[in-house]
Amino acid sequence: MAAQSTPQAARERAAELARVLAEHSRAYYIEAEPTVSDAEYDRLFRELEQLESDYPALATADSPTQRVGAPPVDDFPSVDHATPMLSLANCFDDEELAEFDRRAREGVGVDELAYCAEPKFDGTALNLRYEAGVLVRATTRGDGVTGEDITANARTIRNLPLRLTAENPPDFVEIRGEVVLPRSRFEELNERLEADGQKAFVNPRNAAAGSLRQLDSRITATRPLVFMGYGIGRVDGASLTDSLYGQLQQLADWGFIISPYIDRVTGLAGCTDYYQAMAERRAELDIEIDGCVFKVDDGPSRDELGFVARAPRWAIARKFPAEETTTTLNSVEFQVGRTGALTPVAKLEPVFVGGVTVSNASLHNMDEVARKDIRIGDRVVVRRAGDVIPEVKEVAERGQNTQAIELPEACPVCGSAVERIEGEAIARCTGGLVCAAQRREALKHFASRTALDIEGLGDRQIEAFVAEGLLHSPADIFALKAHRDALLEREGYGEKSVANLLGSIEAAKDTTLERFIFALGIREVGQTMARDLARHFGSLEALQHEAKAYHQRLADVWEQHPDNKAARDRAMAAEGLQAVPGVGARVAQCIADFFTEPRNVEVIEELIAAGVHWPTVDTETTPQPLSGQTVVLTGSLESLTREEAGERLEALGARVTSSVSKKTDYVVAGERAGSKRDKAEKLGVTVLDEAGLLALLEQHRAAVAD
Ligand code: IVH
């Protein structure tokens, strides 16, 4: 860092640094295309800090050093907005939207209107005042007329321009937008807060609002806030287009982030199509939105329409259905899954949430019930986001005469004992295949698309066939052809559909070892694990042999060290099953238990006798370029989905897992990758960007082709 010899040289250097840092910031936060390394940025930043500390007059309001926050204040002074910050009328269905469009068209006297269509960001509003292009004040919305001065806090928002990028900025302009906290950074923030013994935020909106209203702006500076521009208030000394869509492009030119989903649409149909498209996209957006905003695009029409109270007649928010609501928990039932796991299911007073009526919701397991302190009779918060299963999130209010939720001692389906292993959250029915619920779920799994893939034998058919006594165990599926007549008598079945079903059952006999292992439904053995086991052992016999050996060895080790778990673990770690990637003591035990249970062995024999077969997996001659390598995918990729990337990596032999550890070979970090990338960097794991991933795939594809 060269010391500047004269104040004049210092001033010039400081201006140069401020300009360069702002450019790098813009490239990083707005274009998402960093132009320098973090280290280089830090070096330039420190040089500027040093200059400003030597010459305090150089620390101007738009200096990038102002982003780190200022000493705390006692409260926020009130400030009037130059033009009021209006609110928006809301609507919740297509009819109300149609009504809005009709009134607007009639008000203007036209047949069709063009609208500027935007996402409605779920954060907290901010008004920014720029004079001669420099940010001079930032205020909360307040009551719409007067807000609170939170300039020091706003300055810490990294993507918010401290100076507009314009040759001739307006003398004065108010920029409106929403401060949000991206979903990908929310969990990370909460983890950090909890680690510091502070309270976590309930949702990203509260996190954004809470962070922005910190009296100590140095705290705000540590929060990953983002400013999304959506409008312009008063402007002096510049003539802007009267099209709101055009004004948003102007915001982008001045250096603001605007939503990539902004569009100009025509008529009611344009609005409803836009709404549908956004509703479908909603779940995958990193910035939470709670609806869409439609604003009449052209200025003269807006002037014609004017305002009612404090909301314009030319704009409306079409809200998404609420994803959370409260209702009463009437009772709890226990569902039995494929592996016997008992899941408490809440029976609710029906409510409309997330766009559907919900009367059942998951309570996950008894640990969750205890942690959330949920009792029958409570008012509870129910959440249904996107297509996910509705869940009881928390207690809203303790009910009167509530009743504890208790785990049954006997399985509600088969009456077998329920066991709960110390330290495990999950309670299980011990009935195994005696239990009709476990049998039914095991059959569903067996026939499912990722297992034996029997077309025409879906969950609904299996439930019916089990109820009618046509199916008890997987091998019965292959005996269905002997029941052609019974099938033909069933409602909805004709010659053709029965022939199709029997045909797909025949076809399913020709399978692969990995599908077969997965279809067996061994606890803890998912698709990836089934593939690893198939590749490692090559044949079912070899796997069964090793599982039995493991079981035997475990019995011996128990005898040798009945009181020393560490010694047992050490002895077992060297055993064959644990040599398979991803198989630890727990999984090995599940595999060993499965293959030593006589009924399971019987089912396998029956299936093979029925003609189920697969080619042997050649463990020697099919070396795979990425075998033994573990890859974690995080963030979003542009040219392919994460699933596709995963499949292509697996096709080359890699294991794709979800958590980063020292053993991970690569972390592929796409857009908005968060804590996983950070962890990889901390652990020294190679991080690849999308281009790096494509290069890796290409290189090995070429190698395979050779
Ligand atoms: S326009 C006259 N556009 O929603 C128009 N508001 O009551 C005034 N909001 O708290 C607002 N996304 O902060 C507008 N694309 C968007 C928006 C948006 C979120 C918030 C705004 C205010 C509320 C409107």
Positive or negative: CA dihedral 642, 644, 647, 648: negative
Amino acid at 155: R
Reference 125, options 73, 171, 81, 161; nearest CA is 81
Q: Give the Å distance between the CA of 30 and the centre of ligand 1.
A: 21
Residue 565: what pLDDT? 86
- Mean pLDDT for the stretch of residues 326-349: 95
Query: Using H for helix, E for strand and C for coil, what is the string for 587-626?
Result: HHHHHHHHHHCHHHHHHHHHHHHCCCECCCCCCCCCCCCC
- Mean pLDDT for the stretch of residues 168-172: 96
DSSP state of 284: G
Q: Give the Å distance between the CA of 285 and the centre of ligand 1.
A: 18
Residue 110: what pLDDT? 97
Q: Which of 116, 120, 234 to mutate to test the pocket of ligand 1 (most atoms within 8 A of CB)?
A: 120
Q: Give the Å distance between the CA of 516 and the centre of ligand 1.
A: 54
C-alpha–C-alpha distance, residues 354 and 271, integer Å: 20
- Mean pLDDT for the stretch of residues 501-506: 96
- Mean pLDDT for the stretch of residues 87-95: 91
pLDDT band (50, 70, 90) for residue 706:
very low
Q: Which of 85, 124, 126, 230 to mutate to test the pocket of ligand 1 (most atoms within 8 A of CB)?
A: 230
The yes-or-no verdict on residue 705 having pLDDT over 50 is: no
Which pLDDT tens digit goes with each residue over 288-330? Answer: 999 999 999 999 999 999 998 788 999 999 999 878 889 999 9
Which pLDDT tens digit goes with each residue over 279-288? Answer: 989 888 999 9
Q: Which is more confidently placed, 354 or 517? A: 517
Q: Give the Å distance between the CA of 691 and the centre of ligand 1.
A: 37
Q: Could you tell me if the CB of 118 is within 6 A of ligand 1? A: yes
For atom 3 of ligand 1, the residue with the nearest CA is 230
The yes-or-no verdict on residue 271 having pLDDT over 90 is: yes
Q: Could you tell me if the CB of 84 is within 6 A of ligand 1? A: no
Q: Is 120 a catalytic residue?
A: yes
Q: Give the predicted TM-score (pTM) of the model.
A: 0.58
pLDDT mean across residues, the chain: 90
Q: Give the Å distance between the CA of 693 and the centre of ligand 1.
A: 39
Task: Kindly report which listed range (35-39, 298-302, 605-609, 676-680) carries the lowest average pLDDT score.
Answer: 35-39
Reference 256, options 238, 284, 232; nearest CA is 232
For atom 16 of ligand 1, the residue with the nearest CA is 120
Phi first, then psi, for residue 568 (nearest 5°) are: -65, -45
Residue 3: what pLDDT? 60
C-alpha–C-alpha distance, residues 519 and 220, integer Å: 51
Which pLDDT tens digit goes with each residue over 102-159? Answer: 999 999 999 999 999 999 999 999 999 999 999 999 999 988 899 999 999 999 999 9
Structural domains of the chain ordered from first start: 2-66 (1.10.287.610), 78-319 (3.30.470.30), 324-404 (2.40.50.140), 439-609 (1.10.150.20), 630-705 (3.40.50.10190)
Q: Which of 121, 140, 258, 289 to mutate to test the pocket of ligand 1 (most atoms within 8 A of CB)?
A: 121
Residue 702: what pLDDT? 57
> Which H or E run includes 311?
strand 311-312
- Mean pLDDT for the stretch of residues 573-579: 84
Q: Could you tell me if the CB of 315 is within 6 A of ligand 1? A: yes
First to last CA, the chain: 53
Which pLDDT tens digit goes with each residue over 518-572? Answer: 999 998 899 889 998 998 899 999 999 999 999 999 999 999 998 888 888 888 8
For atom 18 of ligand 1, the residue with the nearest CA is 120
Which one of 120, 319, 444, 676 is the catalytic residue? 120
Which pLDDT tens digit goes with each residue over 199-255? Answer: 888 789 989 999 999 999 999 999 999 999 999 999 999 999 999 999 999 999 999
Q: Could you tell me if the CB of 231 is within 6 A of ligand 1? A: yes
Q: Which atom of ligand 1 is nearest to the CA of 312?
A: 2
Other Cβ atoms less than 10 A from the Cβ of 320: the count is: 19
- Mean pLDDT for the stretch of residues 647-667: 86
Residue 296: what pLDDT? 98
Q: Give the Å distance between the CA of 309 and the centre of ligand 1.
A: 16
Q: Could you tell me if the CB of 88 is within 6 A of ligand 1? A: yes
